[in-house]
Amino acid sequence: MNSSDDVDALLYLSFGGPEGHQEVRPFLENVTRGRNVPPERLDEVAEHYHHFGGVSPLNRLNRDIMSSLEGELAERGLNLPVYFGNRNWHPMVEDTVERMAADGVRRALVFATSAWGGYSGCRQYHEDIARARDAIGQQRAPELVKLRQFYDHPLFVAANADAVTRAYAHLPEDVRTQARLVFTAHSVPLSAEERSGADGRPRWYSRQVHESARLVAEAVGVTGYDVVWQSRSGPASVPWLEPDVCDHLDQLSARSVPAVVTSPVGFVSDHLEVIWDLDNEAAEKAGELGMGFARADTAGTDPRYARMIAELVSEHVENQRVRKLSPLVTAGCTANGQLCVAQGCC
């Protein structure tokens, strides 16, 4: 693709979330269909959504980001309409792609709201793209080109780094210099970790999370930090990435660490996992242990996030140079839901 004339639109593809009490159950059923999530876990997660009026913050955040993004694109002279579609809740990606076809879109870029490779962050979004195209038939379906992973994009790293710096400032001065920096990301089953990286490069997701953490810590000037996991589901008998953030707080407390700064680098917005599992559960746990606790903002709340998306678009339509900070390979960019197995991901 060499000029913006080749691209008619941008599809902003996300996870989706309920917008009222009565939508919580059907949403959760969509998320967990065919998955090994115990019913008790679902009841628990449903309560978290109900605690916030049955409304996920994700939709509002996504709409805010899309409106900033339209401004960023216009500033670059890229007048692409931005369409919104989700995997698990309305507007569903199938309906959105139908509307795009009806509007005459023939080729669109797709921004998926995950920074990562691996099953949940990459492959499932490819599957969404393929399913949405199949639903309206290959004849009518626009060509959909997914943008690459951005875990090491300088704007993503900078947004996270400044958020960490602000979080340190929220801790009482007497514990600030002793505070431990703890990065968190969504846990996944180890089986998914081994599956990603079919060409002998497994653990694609966790390695990218570690790279983001390293880059953010470096930008902040912190040498000692940890990477831990949160929000695991699935039966206890199935191994997931560990340690869990709350168990880790116990460990730190046992080492007399007086405070923590948590950075949810694995989440691009203030998802329910962030505002519940960190701001409620982990914060409460830290309180019980008598530790100071501050949580860094997610990148999606920073204007540089929308700017980054516009840059990713520019890479395609204007052959702008690829800005990335990690030597690890970046995958995720294929057409029409093709898996990026060849690049070592998915």
Residues that bind ligand HT9 in the complex, under the rule CB under 6 A = 15, 17, 28, 31-32, 35, 37, 41, 45, 56-58, 113-114, 116, 120-121, 186, 188, 231, 233-234, 271-273
The amino acid occupying position 65 is: I
Q: What string of DSSP letters covers 218-266?
A: HHHT---EEEEEE---S-TTS-BSS-BHHHHHHHHHHTT--EEEEE-TT
**Is 273 labelled as part of a ligand binding site?**
yes
Question: Which window, 118-126, 182-190, 247-255, 281-289, contacts Fe ion (CB under 5 A)?
Answer: 118-126
Rounded to an integer, what distance in angstroms lies between the CA atom of residue 300 and that of residue 269? 5
**Is 314 labelled as part of a ligand binding site?**
no
Binding partner of 346, given Fe ion, ligand HT9, none, CB within 5-8 angstroms per partner class: Fe ion
Decide if residue 110 touches Fe ion (CB under 5 A). Answer: no
User: Could you tell me the smallest distance in angstroms from the CB atom of residue 200 to Fe ion?
Assistant: 15
**Is 56 labelled as part of a ligand binding site?**
yes
Decide if residue 328 touches Fe ion (CB under 5 A). Answer: no
User: What is the distance between the terminal CA atoms of the chain, rounded to a whole angstrom?
Assistant: 24
Please say whether the beta carbons of 303 and 68 come within 8 A: yes
Please say whether the beta carbons of 73 and 1 come within 8 A: no
Nearer to ligand HT9, 13 or 294 (CB): 13
Distant-in-sequence, close-in-space partners of 61: CB < 8 Å, separation ≥ 6 = 269, 270, 300, 301
Question: Which window, 65-73, 113-121, 137-145, 274-282, contacts Fe ion (CB under 5 A)?
Answer: 113-121
User: Could you tell me the smallest distance in angstroms from the CB atom of residue 301 to ligand HT9?
Assistant: 13
Rounded to an integer, what distance in angstroms lies between the CA atom of residue 7 and that of residue 111? 13
Long-range contacts for 219-225 (Cβ within 8 Å, ≥24 apart)?
A: 219/157, 219/158, 219/161, 220/161, 220/164, 220/165, 220/181, 222/164, 222/181, 224/180, 224/181, 225/180, 225/181, 225/182, 225/183
Binding partner of 340, given ligand HT9, Fe ion, none, CB within 5-8 angstroms per partner class: Fe ion
Nearer to ligand HT9, 17 or 337 (CB): 17
Decide if residue 209 touches Fe ion (CB under 5 A). Answer: no
HSE-CB for 277 with a 13 A CA cutoff: 25
Nearer to ligand HT9, 4 or 187 (CB): 187
Q: Binding marks (x or -) toward Fe ion, 232..271, rule CB under 5 A?
A: ----------------------------------------
User: Could you tell me the smallest distance in angstroms from the CB atom of residue 12 to ligand HT9?
Assistant: 13
**Is 210 labelled as part of a ligand binding site?**
no
Radius of gyration of the chain (CA): 20
User: Could you tell me the smallest distance in angstroms from the CB atom of residue 345 to Fe ion?
Assistant: 3
Please say whether the beta carbons of 292 and 258 come within 8 A: yes
Q: Phi and psi dihedrals of 8, rounded to 5? A: -100, -20
Binding partner of 121, given Fe ion, ligand HT9, none, CB within 5-8 angstroms per partner class: ligand HT9
Which residues are part of a known binding site for Fe(2+)?
A: 186, 273
Which residues are part of a known binding site for Fe-coproporphyrin III?
A: 56, 125
